[in-house]
A and B are shown apart, each in its own frame.
Chain A
Amino acid sequence: MTHWIIAPVVLPALLAPFIVLAARYHIGIQRVFSVAGVLALIAISAGLAWQASDGSVILYQLSDWAAPFGIVLVGDRLSTAMLLLTAVLALFVLLFAIGSDWDSRGRHFHALFQFQMMGIMGAFLTGDLFNLFVFFEVLLIASYGLMIHAGGNARLKAGVQYVLFNLIASSLFLFALGSIYAETGTLNMADLANRVALIGPEETVGIRIAAVLLILVFAVKAAIVPLHFWLPSSYAEACAPVAALFAIMTKIGAYAIIRVYTMIFPPELEVTAGLHDVWLLPAALLSLAIGMLGVLAAQKLDRLVAYSVIGSMGMVMVSIALFTPTGIAAAIYYIIHSTLAGAALFLIADLVRTGRGNLDLTAQPAMAGTALTSALFFIGAIAMAGLPPLSGFLGKLLVLDAGYDTDLMVWIWAIVLGSSLISIVGFARAGSVLFWKAHSVHTPEPEEDAAPRPSPAALSYVATGGLVALLAAHTVFAGQVHGYSEKIAAQLFAPAPYIATVVETPGKLSDPTTKTEEH
């Protein structure tokens, strides 16, 4: 049994208190440890992803207790790939926070950041629904702190909404867990998969309620319309690196839906039939449409990016809701793309704010550092709107291809293509107002003693450019990435080895007699 798989949870969990206790007054030392921790996480995640890439399932039994009784961490292709994506994103976000000095504008940024990493990593690795809840709470409580980092009334107001919305979702999560436990007597995912399959079609009421409650909770996390109201103001008000890190948080909802609804409540299961195609798919199409309309309607750049995140989650959920191997493979490709693109756009929005002082989409005199910022915005907007040649376009093609054979093909194609057009118009409007029209506005005579607006720091450009470069790499290696996401989908749709590994691996049991027999 390898112990590496618990390292992504333990390492940030140890690093964060160390940063608080030993380095609380030394921002330089905090930065060094934080970056070193994230680099270590990248190395560990890459190792785990490599280990899981041959299709094997890595199992870790905490304290050696066997599966339905003890807590397990499980790493398969999907969860290790998400780990690696999170760690890489975190590195660039951290570099941006250091470069733009956001991390020193409030207390404990790096400690909260590490706790956030711990929660996200744990949520991807856990093999138990209740621990999924616990890790959700860990990442949420860190995100509450990060959300109001650097203070200010508007941010606190948005923070209250964000916290309350998530608390209600957490209560709903507990209700869902209670109903599942009452129906099946277990909360271990692999064990659940076995037991839910045994429930007869005439006793569906309880488990149906549980499945619907659970999908509601994950839909709140993934910000699917009509449960998206928390996202625009909280993401727009959070400081840029935090909003960029939050780009992975909506994907945790998507990950949980993929995990639970391929393994425990698969689409062919009779007890929960109709949940995916009748309810989830229309909601996903609605998110896509409303998100992209929000891009067109936004008055400020940060809101525009927040709505584009909702829209791209809609795209992810459309292809997840198909629940076919091609659909899930397309969703995984698009999840990687939309995480990177959303994070890059939030960082670019902050570059714009540094350069011109506000984010209003009105024509204003040219700002500091226009050339580089506008180039980055141009690339980010192309990627997010899904124009060729970047990965958004390829991802959209994959989604369209996955939706080709279904009954709702006309709706899927119409909404995906129509919303793309709307978002292109929205981004083009924003870009031309921000960068082009600056030249037609009369520049006021600079006052004698007025300090010029500072250009963003070089490290900020490095971090943002790094994310954009990753987007480009995601496009260039699209064939390999998509091939791997097809392998991930294949593993998800054949969960028997996963379940067997979790349930049948021996360990300490609660019955002392079997324990003595084993030794």
Chain B
Amino acid sequence: MTGEETPGARDIAVVAFAQTDVLRTTDELSEVEMLMPVLHSVLDRTGLKTADIGFTCSGSSDYLAGRAFSFTLALDGVGAWPPISESHVEMDGAWALYEAWTKLLTGDADTALVYSYGKSSPGSLRDVLTRQLDPYYVAPLWPDSVALAALQAQALIDAGQADESALAAVGARSRRVATLNSHAQLRGTVPQGDYAVRPLRTGDCPPVGDGAAAVILAAGERARDLCSRPAWIRGIDHRIEAHSLGVRDLTDSPSTRLAAEKAGAFERPVDTAELHAPFSAQEIVLRKALRLDDSVRVNLSGGALAANPMMAAGLIRLGEAAARIHRGESDRALGHATSGPCLQQNLVAVLEGDAR
């Protein structure tokens, strides 16, 4: 799907977005208890009730909860009885949004509720994430998520594309702009800290936190009924790279570039970009892959360095981009989500508001 209009294709827009505050722990809440206020918030923005929604799709991971089929309990929050049209991805909610978008394209539904959530606090996230690695050659060594990101950061430094102060500047800027984001977990002046895994310091790494997000998609005139300025999805695409890190050039993100090209991101400049870059070095890699210069407002929310709730942080990027269009602060925005170690998988969406 490119930015060009395909005959007969439906226009689909993000019409509402809501997110929780991201917190280091939410012991007092179950997943569904954490999620429900967000679901109600996003429905309230459109006046829709759960029974009005044509398709529901969610993203989460059993490995965060330590329980099989953990997403089924969260379904209570969307009123899943009587039976609804529903699906789930064991990934970030950005990929649930992609599935919902294709569902709306088929014409089988006119509205979709997309939500995702993650509670990282019950487990040790660095260890939990090792279980997504190649189980034969890599996972038995238990290389944690920070270590793998540190290898990527060192590769970037060796290539002369960054140094430790450039990395620090990315984290500092993210948390400075996050002072305007009441949902962010780390805001303002945060010490760059000691090495977590050298060359990455704690300030180069995302906070570990719990949180949830939800968006509503709608097709055609329905979108205009539900939102005064819908964020039209002009293109969306996702690509993956070889899972073996030693095969990839860690200083580049060809999958992001290809997804952006297929989503139409390079056809006209964007004014806003929300990048899912959990580690400082990754923002530098992504800016290059997406050819974003200083004229583009990048991660005004603070991005993943200010709040990185697993499974929701990518959907939040798309939601933040859409919300800026809703508020008239952007006319053409790029939303990006990633999954896997060192930017293994990448999704890019291009969103536009109606001309003013």
Instruction: Tell whether A and B belong to one assembly.
Output: no
- Please give the residue numbers on chain B whose beta carbons come within 8 Å of chain A beta carbons, in ascending order: none
- Please give the residue numbers on chain A whose beta carbons come within 8 Å of chain B beta carbons, in ascending order: none
